[in-house]
Structure 1
Amino acid sequence: MVQPSPLRERRSPWKGWDDAPAATRHVAERFAGLVAESARRLTTARRMVDAEREARLAELGALAATVAHDLRNPLGIVQMAATGAPPEVRSEIGEQVARMNHLLTDILDFARAWTVVPQPLRVADLVASLGVEADVPEGLMITADRHALLRALTNLVDNARALGTRVAIVAAAGPPITIDICDNGPGIAPEIRASLFRPFVSRRPGSTGLGLAIVRRIMEAHGGTVTLAERRGWSTCFRLTFGASR
């Protein structure tokens, strides 16, 4: 005589399960097993993709560091060699060298593995260092890496200043905590909205196109996000979203 399986002896919390025909329950159990196995495989695949992504980013970071080192030395030599040139030539060379150095810095920051060291930070103190209009709840605290978060905020404020005549930072305690960086510039072109946070996509001429991609990487390192947001009276707002209030 075939003994019933422990699964079938156990009373199910699902209404009507124990009264269902044995064949139906068997099919359902097989289907549930297949779903569980598919979920396990998807989780494994995701872990493999994440590991490969981190390995590729590490390789990119090493390559970027090598390129930056190899380029910065010649750029310094070019700038020193221009000291005897006419003022307008010297100014142009200095401007272009600075532009190249800025691009190298952005490439390094995009390629690096952002390992953050979170600590309690007063949002009002952080925002005050940026010198823009601010609306921040008194005593609002977040847990974040000061250097990394300041880099993200600076990127967003610099972009806002380049495009708008008015810039403001608005924070909300949530949860979750949010920090909006808004400007009254021309807004975001519809054709780049979907790809705005990808490398080398920019809403302003002359930028490296890496600023927003760096912000995204910094927020991912914090377990947060950066997205576009809507605020009345502002044409463009970028929202940094963190964890729950502390």
Structure 2
Amino acid sequence: MADLALPIALAALAAAFAAGAAAGACLTPRLRRRGASAPAGGSAAAAATRAEPERPGNAAPEAAGAGGPRCDSARLDRRLAEVGRMTGGLAHEIKNPLSTIGLNVQLLREDVAQVGGLLASGGGVAGGDEALAGLQRIQRRLDGVHRETARLRDILDDFLRFAGRIRLDLNATDPDRVVGELVDFFHPEAEARGVRLRTDPGNRGRPLRADGALLKQALLNLLMNAVQAMAPGGGRGAEGPAAARELLVRTGDDPADARSVLLEVIDNGPGIAADALERIFEPYHSGRRGGTGLGLPTSRRIVELHGGTLTVDSEPGRGTSFQIRLPREGPPAAAPDAG
């Protein structure tokens, strides 16, 4: 059953591309030769000498004309490369639950055969007890199959959300209110994991043009990453102190740019090793057990879609700080969505 991992991954990838195409993404690469353009795969004469990817300024009329979809080739190239790299990671993520499901199904077949034989033979009280134990094993194995099936669904859902097209619903948003609502929601999770969650609201009611729901999702991913990394065995490369684990969410003006808002998620956990820090925003690169590997890349994508940046500073043994910087006037008009 694990052999199905790559086909499923490729099917999910195709579905993501189809969703992007349906939303108007430009998925036909074009080649330019000395001012002329032709679809990739055209005649050898048309693509002779030096050919290079078509850029927005050289777009063909059907790609850039009135009524046609706008094609940001640079952004499209990046997304195609990024989603392509994800396929291998997705196949790896799928393989484990598929293997577990396959093993449980095999054991279920054996248990069913055993219980069926006991019931058919009428083995008395002893046989009845053994049959009951067999039925209990079957129930446990079915529970395992159900858990792994749900895990598989979550993996694929996360992938399709990340690989698909995101549209912003921009409104006047108060970052302090977004953080307050998110902390109220997340506080029980942090408390259950022994982490003290605090806020330092400093926006003072200044407006931010943003998609509040997506901004909340980006912050939630950062909070989940921090809390899980601070747990014993969180896997960031160094263990933090067992007590006094704290997580702070702070908002305010960006000291480097008065036109931007700064949101920070700061923890005093184990920190992130330098080699892992370089890859932390790569899809399916997760330094902790049980991580999907898409939380941080998704947060970065949401922030960049708003015209902002997501950066990170960390010191092993001291903690980690993520910084979200967003322009208060919102993203550029030419970037309403991403595919």
Provide the TM-score with structure 1 as the length reference.
0.63
1:223 maps to: 307
- Structure 2: unaligned runs, 5 residues or longer: 1-53, 59-70, 92-97, 109-134, 184-196, 231-244, 331-339
- 1:142 CA displacement: 1.8
- 1:85 CA displacement: 6.2
From 224, 227, 241, the equivalent of 1:158 is 224
- Structure 1: unaligned runs, 5 residues or longer: 1-40, 68-73
Superposed CA deviations along residues 199-224 of structure 1, whole A, max 9, x for unmatched, are 11123222111111111111111011
**Distance (Å, rounded) in 1 between the aligned partners of 2:274 and 2:153:** 31
Contact 2:300–2:309, Cα closer than 8 Å, also in 1 = yes
2:214 maps to: 148
**Distance (Å, rounded) in 2 between the aligned partners of 1:85 and 1:94:** 15
**Distance (Å, rounded) in 2 between the aligned partners of 1:141 and 1:234:** 33
Contact 1:134–1:169, Cα closer than 8 Å, also in 2 = yes
Contact 1:224–1:243, Cα closer than 8 Å, also in 2 = yes
From 93, 97, 100, the equivalent of 2:149 is 97
Provide the TM-score with structure 2 as the length reference.
0.47
**Distance (Å, rounded) in 2 between the aligned partners of 1:155 and 1:51:** 25
Q: What secondary structure sits across from 1:185 in the alignment?
A: coil
* Structure with the bigger percentage of strand: 2
Change (3 A) 1:236 1:51: closer
* Structure with the bigger percentage of helix: 1
Of all paired residues, the percent bearing the same amino acid is 27
Name the aligned partner's letter for residue 141 of structure 2: V
Superposed CA deviations along residues 143-196 of structure 1, whole A, max 9, x for unmatched, are 111221111111111111112232220112232211111222211121121121
From 182, 185, 191, the equivalent of 1:130 is 182
Aligned length: 186
Q: What secondary structure sits across from 1:195 in the alignment?
A: coil
Superposed CA deviations along residues 75-130 of structure 1, whole A, max 9, x for unmatched, are xxx9xx99x86554344334323322221222012101222121111222211222
Q: What secondary structure sits across from 1:152 in the alignment?
A: helix
**Distance (Å, rounded) in 2 between the aligned partners of 1:234 and 1:129:** 28
**Distance (Å, rounded) in 1 between the aligned partners of 2:142 and 2:267:** 35
